[in-house]
Structure 1
Amino acid sequence: MNQEAFLTLFTPVQDKMYRFALRLLSSKEAAQDAVQEVMTKLWNKRERIKGYTNPQAFAMTMTKNYCLDQLKLKQNNTMRIVHSNYEDQGRNPAAIAEVKDELDFVRKIMDQLPEQQQMVLQLRDIEQQEFKEIAEVLEMSETAIRVTLSRARKKIREELLKVHRYGIA
């Protein structure tokens, strides 16, 4: 595989790799380093990658494994979501502040979820990957992915309802 074919194959997934690494490592610099390291490893394995049915899922799996290894090395179990798809579309400042507060609260809830639920939420709801891809990346069955996602969403929904009904944060 030449450089052009390699870049054509992996450039589209590089942003997903970064956001996933950022989700796991909570640091922009660490996430950038992780993507760079994984891309280097992919380049070194470029001849073997031709045989894979889904090279992008393989790249995401490598990103996950690299990040988890980094977390184990640093004993850093804090995970944060820093990615948001919110765009200001001419809303008033009060509405923007309200949305920001809501996103911050959802991030706090997600930080309290078990690691596996956080990863499934990140890959499905933020990265919008298919269940089959998530199953490959996390080495779980699609049924287990659906159950994990359901439990994570339920926990977030329950916590949001507490705040909206009772004002408990």
Structure 2
Amino acid sequence: MDKTSFTASVERYQDMVYRVALHVLASPQDADDAVQEVFLKLYTAQKPFQGEEHLRRWLLRVTVNHCRDVLRSPWRKRRASLDELPPQPVFQQPEQEALYQSVMALPEIYRIVLVLFYYEELSVREIGALLKLETSAVTTRLSRAKLKEQLGEVWQDE
């Protein structure tokens, strides 16, 4: 990948990669590290991409895989939080914070499906292909998350 197209890709997809990493890792610092690792993999990739959609899906797949590797790493399993919790993102509206807290309270298998479906607007079939799951498993995970019930009044149907 040449420098110009790499720079354009970083500018276009950096926020998407960060959002996915943040929702999987639940730490802004770890998400920043993941963004750097994913784009380093992109820069060193010898793979020609067949278009923007192919690149976008490749970045999502690499992000999810990298985050899962981080979660499985022995270092992460052995570390213990002392007194500090990672700082939470700042929200302009209380509803946004409530939604974020509800999503972050879910187990990782539900969180990643919700992020890809609602934030990245992928279809159930696309999520299934990306995570190597059957579409029925994706649908089940979406329904089990039950965000609507957890949020009560804060949730607004459009």
Please report the TM-score for the alignment, with normalisation by the length of structure 2. 0.72
In the alignment, what sits opposite 1:113? 106
RMSD: 3.0
How far does the alpha carbon of each residue in 1:34-93 deviate from its partner, in whole angstroms, 9 at most, with x for none?
111111111111x314358712111111111111111122028xxx9x679x75xxxxxx
Q: Does residue 67 of structure 2 align to residue 67 of structure 1?
A: yes
How far does the alpha carbon of each residue in 1:99-120 deviate from its partner, in whole angstroms, 9 at most, with x for none?
51x4444444433433211111
**Alignment equivalent of 2:128, drawn from 126, 135, 146:** 135
Q: Does residue 55 of structure 2 align to residue 55 of structure 1?
A: yes
Which amino acid is the alignment partner of residue 29 of structure 2? Answer: E
Separation in 1, partners of 2:128, 2:144: 16
In the alignment, what sits opposite 2:151? 160
Separation in 2, partners of 1:21, 1:146: 22
Contact kept, 8 Å, 1:34 with 1:63, in 2: the verdict is yes
Separation in 2, partners of 1:112, 1:4: 39
Q: Does residue 119 of structure 2 align to residue 146 of structure 1?
A: no
Per the TM alignment, residue 151 of structure 1 is displaced from its structure 2 partner at its CA by: 2.2
Q: Which blocks of at least 5 consecutive residues in structure 2 are unaligned?
A: 80-85
Alignment of 1:6-17 (within 5 A): 6-17=6-17
Please report the TM-score for the alignment, with normalisation by the length of structure 1. 0.68
Max radius of gyration: which structure? 1
